């Protein structure tokens, strides 16, 4: 990991490289583009044992007075065109997956082909099945259920957030990810996960703000749209990952004999890829859609922030963002002290420059942008703009 990767800002997101999911080597369970702008946080305080976490009072937490909401009006869900655009951005990947499935069943009788393809098309319904969601949460995302001590710590906050969103506490499930990042995730169709560090170190109000942000994703439909898109993109992603690995291995082994054989295998792999794209030109869009998906993801993050603010958690969420920024300052200072990055004329650590491609592929807006937007919502009464 480069120094630039280490210090890039990041916040609540479900991403592969970030979570180090060994079962999903070809990409994120949610994002089409690698979230290189949001890598794991590498400098963290010593973790506390679960039994050392003090429980919050049985009464509901008290939220910042400047963010008080006297009457909770209706949520403003995501506009349908945005959700539709998110699904359309996955269409080239769905097409690639369909071709992979049809190639697998190529030698089967026509009735068997039809059954397999129809079964795959219908399989998307499984992602909304509670049992399947729990399996995915544990196997793919590395989440686990709360211990009794953790549940005692977070249950009053969870009850308060779900109440403000107008849902029953058991309509969604709260899970845990073992991580020293300040982060949280809206996973599958009914799961919100927070990291162990968030649970241990965030004050009650900020923890509620983080959870409210993820609840906003669920309420707006962001989570299920991303999940269904990735589900149907999975066969194509697996096939592309296998093709690259096999091609690279073949070229490497051929190179041990001669450069000519390496060139032959390399050109053969390139010819196969070009032939597939020539036969199905829409597949070329897979090189463009990561940027569209990242832009839509950034819009979704800002919208989830707004929904959290509408429920009275804007100031609390700002506090969590400021805390993450402080973490980054600590990391920058440590890197500068170790001579890994330079300082400016005033002695402040210089944040490494990120290229335009990384910024365009970032699934989350910069924290300063999100904080500014939240302050604007609070100042204008959360009016639509």
- What pLDDT does residue 317 have? 95
- What pLDDT does residue 80 have? 56
Listed in sequence order, the residues at least 6 apart from 231 whose beta carbon sits closer than 8 Å to its beta carbon are: 123, 124, 127
- What pLDDT does residue 53 have? 36
- What pLDDT does residue 106 have? 87
Q: Give start and end residues of each alpha helix (H) in the chain.
A: 3-7, 16-19, 80-89, 91-104, 110-122, 130-139, 148-164, 196-201, 204-220, 222-255, 259-279, 289-310, 314-337, 356-361, 367-380
- What pLDDT does residue 382 have? 54
Tell me how far apart the alpha carbons of residues 227 and 16 are, in angstroms, rounded to a whole number. 13
Q: Which residue has the tokens 């400016």?
A: 344
- What pLDDT does residue 320 have? 94
Tell me how far apart the alpha carbons of residues 271 and 278 are, in angstroms, rounded to a whole number. 10
Per-residue pLDDT of the chain (385 residues; tens, 9 = 90+): 434 443 333 344 433 333 333 333 333 333 333 333 333 333 333 343 443 333 333 333 444 434 444 456 666 666 656 788 888 888 999 999 999 999 999 889 999 999 999 999 999 888 888 888 888 888 888 899 999 999 999 999 999 999 999 999 889 999 999 998 888 999 878 899 999 999 998 999 999 999 999 999 999 888 888 889 889 999 999 999 999 999 999 898 888 888 888 888 889 988 988 898 888 888 888 888 899 999 999 999 999 999 999 999 999 999 999 998 888 888 878 877 877 777 777 777 777 766 777 788 888 999 999 999 999 988 886 543 3
In the structure encoding, which two tokens stand for residue 231, read together?
């589900």
In the structure encoding, which two tokens stand for residue 17, read together?
């490289």
Strands 191-195 and 173-177: parallel
Q: Are 7 and 335 in contact (CB under 8 A)?
A: yes
Strands 143-144 and 191-195: unpaired
């Amino acid at each position: 990991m480069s120094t630039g990767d280490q210090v890039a800002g990041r916040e609540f997101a479900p991403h592969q490289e970030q979570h180090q999911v060994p079962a999903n080597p070809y990409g994120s369970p949610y994002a089409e583009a690698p979230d290189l702008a949001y890598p794991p946080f590498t400098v963290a305080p010593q973790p506390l044992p679960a039994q050392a976490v003090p429980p919050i009072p049985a009464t509901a937490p008290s939220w910042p007075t400047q963010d008080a909401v006297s009457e909770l009006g209706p949520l403003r869900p995501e506009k349908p065109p945005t959700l539709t655009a998110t699904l359309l951005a996955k269409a080239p990947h769905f097409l690639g997956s369909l071709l992979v499935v049809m190639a697998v069943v190529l030698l089967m009788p026509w009735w068997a082909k039809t059954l397999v393809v129809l079964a795959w098309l219908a399989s998307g319904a499984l992602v909304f099945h509670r049992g399947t969601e729990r399996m995915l949460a544990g196997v793919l995302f590395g989440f686990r259920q709360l211990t009794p001590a953790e549940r005692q710590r977070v249950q009053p906050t969870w009850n308060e957030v779900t109440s403000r969103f107008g849902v029953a506490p058991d309509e969604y499930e709260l899970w845990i990810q073992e991580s020293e990042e300040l982060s949280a995730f809206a996973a599958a169709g009914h799961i919100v996960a927070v990291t162990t560090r968030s649970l241990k170190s965030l004050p009650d109000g900020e923890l509620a703000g983080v959870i409210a942000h993820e609840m906003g994703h669920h309420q707006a439909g962001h989570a299920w749209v991303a999940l269904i898109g990735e589900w149907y993109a999975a066969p194509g992603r697996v096939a592309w990952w296998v093709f690259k690995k096999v091609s690279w291995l073949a070229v490497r082994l051929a190179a041990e004999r001669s450069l000519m054989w390496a060139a032959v295998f390399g050109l053969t792999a390139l010819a196969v890829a070009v032939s597939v794209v020539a036969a199905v030109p829409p597949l070329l869009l897979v090189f463009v859609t990561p940027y569209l998906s990242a832009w839509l993801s950034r819009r979704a993050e800002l919208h989830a922030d707004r929904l959290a603010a509408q429920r009275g958690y804007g100031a609390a969420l700002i506090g969590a963002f400021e805390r993450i920024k402080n973490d980054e300052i600590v990391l920058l200072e440590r890197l500068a002290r170790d001579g890994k990055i330079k300082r400016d004329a005033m002695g402040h650590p210089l944040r490494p420059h990120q290229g335009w491609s990384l910024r365009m592929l970032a699934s989350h807006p910069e924290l300063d942008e999100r904080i500014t937007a939240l302050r604007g919502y609070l100042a204008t009464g959360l009016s639509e703009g």
